[in-house]
Amino acid sequence: MVMVAFAVALWGVGWWVNTRLAEGPNSGSRAVQLAVPLIFGLTVIGVWELLVRGLDVPLVILPAPSTIAVRFSDSIPILWADFVQTILKGALSGYLIGCIAAFLTAIAVDRSDFLRMGLLPVGSFAAALPIVGTAPILVMWFGFDWESKAAVVVVMVFFPMLVNTVAGLREATAMQRDLMETYAASYWQSFFKLRLPAAMPFIFNGLKISTTLSLIGAIVAEFFGSPTVGMGFRISTSVGQLSLDMVWAEIVVAALAGTAFYGMVAMIEKAVTFWHPSQRG
Amino acid sequence: MKSVLAVLTVVAAIVVLWYGACVPMNIKGVLTEVERAGAEVVPPGAKERRDLSEFALAARNSFAIPATWAQERPRLPAPHQVAAELWDTTVAKKITSKRSLIYHGWVTLSATVLGFAIGTGLGILLAVGIVHSRVMDMSVMPWAIVSQTIPIIALAPMIIVVLYSVGVQGIIPKAVISAYLSFFPVVVGMVKGLRSPDMMQLDLLRTYNATNAQGFWKLRLPASMPYLFASLKIGIAASLVGAIVGELPTGAVAGLGARLLAGSYYGQTVQIWSALFAAAILAACLVGLLGLIERAVLRRMGIAA
């Protein structure tokens, strides 16, 4: 009971500190903007820990953060192997293949108005479909190893990437195109010097959406069959053994990988599209 | 009119490609079957054919090509096989039958819609809180954005098992997964929407001496509608994926996800494809329905033409 009271008190203190920080004179500063969500996160973890201990929540329902941390540090070799299998082999290779394929398709489609008009609605329709459902088929075709996961990822990222790239390639205005024309620029010159740079914000939007999709695809595809390594495999078997601390450790890995992946793409975007209004802020 | 033609051309091209792909995908299985039935196959014996390319086999045994579109358990079923199975399991079966896709689709749909309603409701509430409280904005918003980069669907099997162990089963666990998948897109979109009125408009309301609540109901909420519908469309698609994935670890009892899993256990490819198309049709209907509601609401508000 003491722990529970302590948890309530901790929540109160955290909230009070954040209120003071957010409504204080320095609330616009970078440090405060970083500190407030951090304090919030730490408070949530603290309250979680205290409540789990105080209320004696069984491990099969919710493990305490400290239990998860211990399990995480104890099984770093396993987690690393799963990370390599699922993220590096499955998700990343599928991401690269899918994005490049979609990009090339977009360039091909872009040359023909008729194709673009036909493919864009089909593409945006396909982008809204539950493509994860192709996982059992692709696992059947490509076997249990990472190739099938990469294939699922390819299918998942293809359409969002295609739609974004095609939209981006139309971004250069008629004026700008005419200017290139008056310079007697060839198709590829005006493509590389005008239309591709103009399309970059859209392309990166597609790339960023695809990062999350690729992790989802790689993990869910493992639920349909996998070798005895991989994050999706570990999650489904650990759930079966009711060792939820392991599941949470994998989720921590997935969260870190997802954020890092997204962050990397966002950083590249910053470097490439430095001229765009959204990056100049 | 021209764009309809273009779409039809693309769809026709996909169907043609699909039929074409069936030949190399299925030719080996077909050749083994027809050889067993007594036909002449070049070269004879499945072992000799194993390392040959599928295209060469198809060219040398062109009589077997039609059979690649009519196999019992093909690696890639032809479009008409999937269509026939879809017709068979929706219209021709009673909807109470365990083999009816309408029954399975309904199981998935009910979890999706329940979860979507919960997720959207909570998402809108949190967005309202975020817009009105600076503390909540600064504390919660970064985490809501970060959470969109995380494959939260990895939590799905655990949620099912945990809820099962506290005695909750049936539609609720799947709805919970659907709810949290649709929750974050709605929060992020709705916050953007509620913030979309610019300073001028907010100042105007202030000069009218409008209260915060009046500002919310008369300016912020109407202004957020286009953003809300954009994120609702993302949210319902995510909800459906959540419900389908939520059906996987329960051991394939009912629902479209269960059909997918059972199909992959027993090698029933036609069943997998038809479940997949049923899910796609369901998703298209849900997104389309939201699009219709969006058009009606925006027109009523005078935003859309």
Q: Give the confidence band of A25 by pLDDT, cuts at 50, 70, 90.
A: confident
Do B132 and B268 have their domain in common?
yes
Q: Could you read off the pLDDT of B161-192 as tens digits, one per residue?
A: 888 878 777 788 888 889 988 888 899 889 88
Chain B residues with CB-CB distance to A248 below 8 A: 158
Do B149 and B191 have their domain in common?
yes
Comparing alpha-carbon positions, the chain B residue that sits nearest to A124 is B284
Amino acid letter, B285: C
Do B234 and B284 have their domain in common?
yes
pTM summary value: 0.84
Do B149 and B215 have their domain in common?
yes
Closest CA to B153 of A72, A76, A231: A231
A140–B contact, CB cutoff 8 A: yes
**Tally of domains within chain B:** 2
Chain B residues with CB-CB distance to A212 below 8 A: 148-151
Q: What is the pLDDT of residue B107?
A: 86
Mean pLDDT for all residues in chain B: 84
Do B9 and B55 have their domain in common?
yes
Cβ burial, residue A252 (10 Å; 0-12/13-18/19+): middle
| Residue at B220 is within a domain | yes
Q: For residues B84 and B71, what is the distance between their CA atoms, to the nearest angstrom?
A: 13
B285–A contact, CB cutoff 8 A: no
State which of A23-27, A74-78, B36-40 shows the largest mean pLDDT.
A74-78
What's the average model confidence in pLDDT over A4-11? 86
- Residue where a domain stops, chosen among B41, B76, B111: B76
Q: Is B304 left (phi over 0), alpha (psi -120 to 50) or beta?
A: beta
Chain A residues with CB-CB distance to B256 below 8 A: 133
Q: Give the confidence band of A151 by pLDDT, cuts at 50, 70, 90.
A: very high
Q: Judge: A216–B165 Cβ closer than 8 Å, yes or no.
A: no
- pLDDT reading at A119 higher than 90: no
What lies within 8 Å, CB to CB, of B120 at 6+ separation is: B182, B183, B186, B232, B235
> Among B73, B76, B139, which would you mutate to test the A interface (most chain A Cβ atoms within 10 Å of its Cβ)?
B139
Q: What is the pLDDT of residue A55?
A: 86
Q: What is the pLDDT of residue B304?
A: 61
Lowest average pLDDT, out of A23-37, A60-74, B129-143, goes to A23-37
Q: What is the pLDDT of residue B92?
A: 75
Q: CA-based diameter of chain A, in Å?
A: 80
Q: Judge: B75–A62 Cβ closer than 8 Å, yes or no.
A: no
Query: How far does the CA of residue A3 sit from the closest CA of chain B (Å)?
Result: 23
Q: For residues A65 and A57, what is the distance between their CA atoms, to the nearest angstrom?
A: 12
- pLDDT reading at A101 higher than 90: yes
Q: CA-based diameter of chain B, in Å?
A: 91
Q: For residues A209 and A217, what is the distance between their CA atoms, to the nearest angstrom?
A: 13
In this structure, are residues A96 and B232 in contact, taking their beta carbons and an 8 Å threshold?
no
Comparing alpha-carbon positions, the chain B residue that sits nearest to A216 is B151
Q: What is the pLDDT of residue B250?
A: 63
Q: Which residues of A4-40 are buried (b: 16+ CB within 10 A; e: fewer)?
A: eebbeebbeebbebbbebbeeeeeeeeebbebbbebb
Q: Give the number of A-B residue pairs with CB atoms closer than 8 Å.
A: 168
Q: Tokens 């722990």, residue?
A: A3
| Residue at B94 is within a domain | no
Comparing alpha-carbon positions, the chain A residue that sits nearest to B75 is A141
Do B40 and B161 have their domain in common?
no
> Among B3, B150, B163, B234, which would you mutate to test the A interface (most chain A Cβ atoms within 10 Å of its Cβ)?
B150
Do B219 and B108 have their domain in common?
yes
Q: For residues B86 and B80, what is the distance between their CA atoms, to the nearest angstrom?
A: 10
What's the average model confidence in pLDDT over B35-60? 76
Query: How far does the CA of residue A183 sit from the closest CA of chain B (Å)?
Result: 33
Comparing alpha-carbon positions, the chain A residue that sits nearest to B163 is A61
- Residue where a domain stops, chosen among B76, B110, B131: B76
What's the average model confidence in pLDDT over B241-268? 79
Q: What is the pLDDT of residue B53?
A: 78
Neighbours of A143 (CB within 10 A): 12
Do B115 and B36 have their domain in common?
no
Chain A residues with CB-CB distance to B8 below 8 A: 118
Do B238 and B281 have their domain in common?
yes
What lies within 8 Å, CB to CB, of A256 at 6+ separation is: none
Using CB atoms and an 8 Å cut-off, which of residues 64-123 of chain A contact chain B? 114-115, 117-119, 121-122
Q: Give the confidence band of A94 by pLDDT, cuts at 50, 70, 90.
A: very high
Q: What is the pLDDT of residue B249?
A: 67
| Residue at B254 is within a domain | yes
| Residue at B95 is within a domain | no
ipTM: 0.80
Query: How far does the CA of residue A37 sit from the closest CA of chain B (Å)?
Result: 4
Q: For residues A243 and A54, what is the distance between their CA atoms, to the nearest angstrom?
A: 21
> Among A157, A239, A244, A252, which would you mutate to test the B interface (most chain B Cβ atoms within 10 Å of its Cβ)?
A239
Do B108 and B66 have their domain in common?
no
CATH number at residue B199: 1.10.3720.10
B192–A contact, CB cutoff 8 A: no
Do B189 and B288 have their domain in common?
yes
Q: Give the confidence band of B120 by pLDDT, cuts at 50, 70, 90.
A: very high
> Among A23, A129, A247, A256, which would you mutate to test the B interface (most chain B Cβ atoms within 10 Å of its Cβ)?
A129
Comparing alpha-carbon positions, the chain B residue that sits nearest to A213 is B151
SS3 category, A184: coil
Q: Judge: B150–A212 Cβ closer than 8 Å, yes or no.
A: yes
Q: Give the confidence band of A274 by pLDDT, cuts at 50, 70, 90.
A: confident
Q: For residues B116 and B137, what is the distance between their CA atoms, to the nearest angstrom?
A: 23
Tokens of B195: 């913030």
| Residue at B43 is within a domain | yes
Q: What is the pLDDT of residue B305?
A: 52
Do B171 and B282 have their domain in common?
yes
Q: Judge: A60–B6 Cβ closer than 8 Å, yes or no.
A: no
**pLDDT > 70 in chain A, percent:** 99
Closest CA to A59 of A220, A238, A228, A234: A238
| Residue at B188 is within a domain | yes
Give the range of the structural domain holding residue B40, as residue numbers without chain letter. Answer: 2-76
Q: Judge: B135–A22 Cβ closer than 8 Å, yes or no.
A: yes
Q: Give the confidence band of B123 by pLDDT, cuts at 50, 70, 90.
A: very high
Q: For residues A97 and A92, what is the distance between their CA atoms, to the nearest angstrom?
A: 9
Q: What is the pLDDT of residue A237?
A: 87
Chain A residues with CB-CB distance to B155 below 8 A: 251
| Residue at B17 is within a domain | yes
